[in-house]
């Protein structure tokens, strides 16, 4: 069939290298996560103990159910922690390589900045900046394409949410200028 | 047949221009979501949920469930053409689907996948139509102890039957239940676990957490991969469609078996992923030509797709009848119900006939229309993959933020979403399952309420969970499932055969 020769090929020149050095192993991350969960469980247990984890005359108090849940969570995390410490380090798998982590940060940092910008500039301006900036600086896509895409996308979002479906979104000084 | 009359009523509700066009929009959006990397069924539904906030519940659920059917269809496109499973449940479809595409039989494989998905969900919808009303009317007699027992059963079966390490499932579930408890306690109106943080007074919204856990974390995970892809373009001609359809009856046994597996695993929390693999493996085991599997046998496409779709659809049965979701996506639809002001549970069948039967009717219609749409538009959707991920990723981030904000109009929720994104990323990478977390988060408050109401009713006597035959057997079954691995191991030792836990 002729269609078979009709190939679609998309390349990823900035892909993380396969031989990039490991930044952290699964074991290390699991230990840290278990510790954090353990601390969270302790904190929750404390608060529920404070508001009353026992029985009132009419049934369990507000803290009863969550208190025992935090005990279960604590016990399960403790088990995970011990299981991790006992496991031999040699069998460890890579959690993330240096290249992979760089790529994750490439999207995570702009996302954080976008959230900050939403707080001050409103979601539409922030979205314009995020889409255009990300396409240009991370995707190395031509300026005009990036700008055009982000404008069309933001406008589409604005029309869908603000005009058609009446969903209220955070707005900033620019929208105020137009009286929205 | 009362169900048939009600179903007709459902179609009647459905056949308005507005709902039909929402259905088309939902299906097209869903296929997009299924095809795009870094988006899938649950996150697609979660992100697009805000669109429905101002709609009436029936239009809203029809559109959302159509997004879900669309995503199920869309997952098959990338698996077959590019060997990239858009969804975890499409992994088994790549085994034979991609080899078929390489041999130039892409159109055949796609037709097979879409048609068998259609059959799978049709079987599951039939099951829902005739079984759900019965279960719901039975459940109307449930009191708080029975409901708590059913919730308990759901949680226990996750821990006992899940494939993940037990302590990880337990961590995920108890964390979800704890987070669900944050904020105002519904029984005593006391604030708990807020530490004086006023943003936490109303609790952590389930949908915000889901958007972070599935949407944001998926973007982070996708960025880690090499995003290059190479695949085939395909156009489906009517001739191929009829050729596949003529071949289909020969595989009726495979289709039937996969549908049954899918329905069963969809109702119990096994999920579509397990169903697709099981359907594939069984088809291979019973086939005369075992060697041909993995090299492009059409049966190898039929089996997993039927099972995955049947299970995805059947997962809605316990959600409709009991208010207990059978999958992550069903959990999100359940979250949607609450946003639209409906109270999930067996009363839905009595109080909101339009809603329930409109939804069931839309499952029939949505799958028929979906089949026609995917068969005719595959080239367009395959071309979507040419769009660079650098353009898609920020758009998904923006959509997630819009979704998270719109739920309660709170900026705090956007930050919360970001936090859950990081949690989801780490959890997925160290093997802590997210499905129990989602389920616990959405059911947490109601499980606790039913527990406390039973305790209040019984004066604090735990034996209320064994007070009659029904509640007693559910509770006992739950405990058996919870300790199932131990029981299975013990049984294995007794009978002398090695345990396979």
Give yes or no: residues A119 and A102 share one domain.
yes
- Residue pointed to by tokens 């900045």: A113
Judged on CB neighbours under 10 Å (0-12, 13-18, 19+), A133 is middle
What is the model's pLDDT at position A1? 38
pLDDT higher than 50, residue B49: yes
Comparing alpha-carbon positions, the chain B residue that sits nearest to A96 is B224
Are both A171 and A103 inside the same structural domain?
A: yes
Number of domains in chain A: 2
Measured between beta carbons, which residues in chain B are less than 8 angstroms from residue A168?
406, 409
B11-42 exposure pattern, b = at least 16 Cβ within 10 A, e = fewer: eebbeeeebeebbbbbbbbbbbbbbbbbbbbb
Within this chain, do residues A62 and A112 fall inside the same structural domain, yes or no? no
Same-domain check for residues A79 and A101: no
The DSSP symbol for B205 reads -
Do A40 and A75 fall into the same domain?
yes
Whether A8 is covered by a domain: the verdict is: no
A60: left (phi over 0), alpha (psi -120 to 50) or beta: beta
Chain mean pLDDT for chain A: 83
Give the confidence band of B86 by pLDDT, cuts at 50, 70, 90. Answer: low
pLDDT in tens, B162-202: 777 888 888 998 999 988 888 777 777 777 777 777 777 78
Give the pLDDT of residue B496: 67
Which pairs with CB-CB distance under 8 Å and at least 24 residues apart come from B131-135? B131/B317, B131/B321, B132/B317, B132/B320, B132/B321, B132/B349, B132/B360, B133/B2, B133/B3, B133/B6, B133/B321, B133/B349, B135/B317, B135/B321, B135/B322, B135/B346
Note whether residue A56 is domain-resident. Answer: yes
Whether A52 and A116 map to the same domain: the answer is: no
If pLDDT is split at 50, 70 and 90, which confidence band does B484 have?
A: confident
A72 CB near a chain B CB, below 8 Å?
yes
**Among the three residues A96, A118, A153, which one is the final residue of a domain in this structure?**
A96
Place of tokens 């255009």: A132
Residue B46 or B451, more confident: B451
Confirm if B251 and A135 have CB atoms less than 8 A apart.
no
- Which phi-psi region, left, alpha or beta, contains residue B341 (left: φ > 0; alpha: ψ -120 to 50)? left
Which letter does DSSP use for residue A16 in this model? P
Nearest CA in chain B to A36: B423
Q: Are residues A107 and A159 in the same domain?
A: yes
pLDDT at B77: 84
Any chain B CB within 8 A of the CB of A119?
yes
Angle ∠(A19,A20,A21) on CA atoms, nearest 5: 110
For chain B, the average pLDDT equals 82
Q: Of all residues in chain A, what percent carry a pLDDT higher than 70?
A: 91
Cross-chain residue pair A16–B224, CB shorter than 8 Å? yes
Q: Are B353 and B166 in contact (CB under 8 A)?
A: no
Boundary of a domain, candidates A62, A79, A96: A96
Over range B101-106, report the average pLDDT: 83
Residues A102 and A143 grouped into a single domain: yes
**Rounded-to-integer distance, Cα B443 and Cα B456, Å:** 20
* The last residue of a domain, from among A61, A96, A131: A96
Contacts of A3 in chain B (CB under 8 A): 104, 106-107, 232-235
Give me the domain span that covers residue A114. 97-177
Q: Residues B287-330: pLDDT tens digits?
A: 777 777 878 788 888 888 888 888 888 888 888 888 888 777 78
B402, two tokens: 């819009």
**pTM for this one?**
0.86
Instruction: Flag if B398 and A73 touch (Cβ within 8 Å).
Output: no
Q: A39 and A105: one domain?
A: no
Q: Where are the alpha helices (DSSP H) in B231-298?
A: 238-247, 252-267, 271-286
Contact (CB<8Å) B415/A61 = no
Instruction: Give the model's confidence band at B130: pLDDT under 50 very low, under 70 low, under 90 confident, else very high.
Output: confident
Query: Residue A5 has what pLDDT?
Result: 46
Closest CA to B366 of B57, B125, B128, B131: B125
pLDDT of residue B462: 76
In whole angstroms, how far apart are CA A20 and each of A90, A105, B107, B224, B256? 19, 16, 39, 12, 47
Q: In this structure, are A66 and A126 located in the same domain?
A: no
- Tokens 């807020």 locate to B194
Copy the structure tokens of residue A17: 């290298």
Question: What's the DSSP call for residue B270?
Answer: T
Residues on chain A touching B452 (C-beta within 8 angstroms)? 59-60, 64-65
Tokens of B329: 């996506």
> Which runs of consecutive H residues, i.e. helices, occur in B15-88?
17-35, 41-48, 57-82
- Predicted complex: ipTM over 0.85: yes
Burial A33-50 (b: 16+ CB within 10 A, else e): bbeebbebbeebbebbee
Q: How many CA atoms lie within 13 A of B399 on its CB side?
A: 23
């Amino acid at each position: 069939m002729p269609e078979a020769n009709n190939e679609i090929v998309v390349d990823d020149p900035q892909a993380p290298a396969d031989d990039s050095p490991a930044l952290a192993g699964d074991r290390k991350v699991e230990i840290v996560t278990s510790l954090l969960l353990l601390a969270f469980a302790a904190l929750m247990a404390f608060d529920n103990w404070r508001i009353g984890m026992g029985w009132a005359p009419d049934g369990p108090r507000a803290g009863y159910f969550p208190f025992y849940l935090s005990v279960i969570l604590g016990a399960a995390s403790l088990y995970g922690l011990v299981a991790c410490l006992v496991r031999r380090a040699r069998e460890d798998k890579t959690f993330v390589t240096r290249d992979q982590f760089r790529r994750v940060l490439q999207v995570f940092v702009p996302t954080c900045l976008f959230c900050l910008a939403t707080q001050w500039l409103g979601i539409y301006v922030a979205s314009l900046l995020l889409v255009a900036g990300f396409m240009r600086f991370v995707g190395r896509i031509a300026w005009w394409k990036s700008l055009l895409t982000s404008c069309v996308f933001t406008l589409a979002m604005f029309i869908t949410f603000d005009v058609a479906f009446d969903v209220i979104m955070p707005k900033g000084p620019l929208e105020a200028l137009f009286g929205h | 047949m009362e169900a048939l009359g009600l179903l007709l009523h459902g179609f009647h509700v459905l056949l308005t221009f507005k709902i039909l066009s929402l259905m088309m929009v939902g299906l097209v959006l869903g296929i997009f979501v299924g095809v795009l990397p870094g988006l899938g069924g649950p996150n697609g539904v979660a992100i697009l949920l805000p669109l429905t906030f101002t709609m009436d519940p029936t239009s809203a659920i029809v559109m959302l469930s159509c997004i879900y059917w669309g995503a199920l269809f869309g997952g098959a496109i990338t698996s077959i053409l590019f060997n990239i499973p858009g969804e975890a449940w499409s992994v088994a479809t790549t085994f034979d689907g991609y080899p078929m595409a390489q041999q130039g039989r892409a159109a055949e494989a796609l037709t097979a996948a879409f048609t068998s998905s259609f059959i799978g969900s049709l079987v599951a919808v039939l099951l829902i139509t005739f079984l759900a009303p019965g279960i719901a009317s039975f459940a109307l007699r449930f009191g708080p102890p029975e409901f708590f027992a059913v919730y308990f059963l759901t949680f226990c079966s996750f821990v006992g039957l899940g494939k993940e390490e037990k302590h990880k499932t337990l961590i995920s579930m108890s964390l979800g239940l704890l987070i669900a408890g944050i904020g105002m306690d519904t029984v005593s109106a006391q604030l708990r676990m807020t530490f004086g943080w006023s943003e936490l007074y109303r609790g952590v919204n389930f949908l915000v957490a889901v958007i972070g856990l599935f949407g944001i974390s998926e973007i982070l995970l996708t960025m880690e991969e090499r995003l290059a892809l190479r695949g085939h373009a395909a156009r489906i001609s009517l001739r191929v469609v009829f050729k596949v359809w003529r071949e289909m009856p020969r595989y009726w046994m495979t289709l039937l078996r996969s549908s049954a597996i899918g329905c069963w695993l969809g109702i119990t929390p096994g999920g579509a992923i397990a169903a697709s693999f099981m359907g594939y493996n069984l088809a291979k085991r019973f086939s005369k030509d075992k060697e041909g599997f993995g090299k492009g046998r059409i049966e190898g496409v039929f089996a997993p797709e039927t099972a995955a779709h049947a299970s995805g659809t059947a997962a809605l049965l316990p959600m409709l009848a009991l208010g207990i979701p059978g999958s992550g996506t069903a959990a999100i639809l359940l979250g949607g119900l609450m946003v639209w002001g409906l109270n999930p549970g067996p009363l839905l069948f009595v109080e909101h006939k339009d809603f329930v039967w409109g939804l069931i009717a839309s499952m029939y219609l949505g799958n028929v229309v979906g089949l026609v749409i995917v068969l005719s538009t595959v080239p367009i959707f395959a071309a979507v993959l040419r769009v660079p991920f650098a353009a898609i990723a920020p758009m998904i981030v923006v959509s997630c933020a819009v979704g998270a904000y719109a739920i309660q109009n709170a900026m705090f929720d956007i930050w919360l979403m970001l936090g859950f994104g990081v949690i989801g990323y780490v959890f997925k990478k160290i093997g802590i399952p997210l499905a129990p977390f989602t389920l616990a988060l959405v059911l947490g408050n109601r499980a606790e309420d039913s527990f406390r109401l039973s305790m209040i009713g019984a004066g604090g006597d735990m034996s209320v969970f064994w007070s009659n035959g029904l509640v007693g057997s559910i509770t006992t079954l739950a405990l058996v499932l919870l300790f199932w691995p131990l029981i299975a191991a013990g049984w294995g030792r007794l009978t002398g055969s090695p345990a396979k836990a």
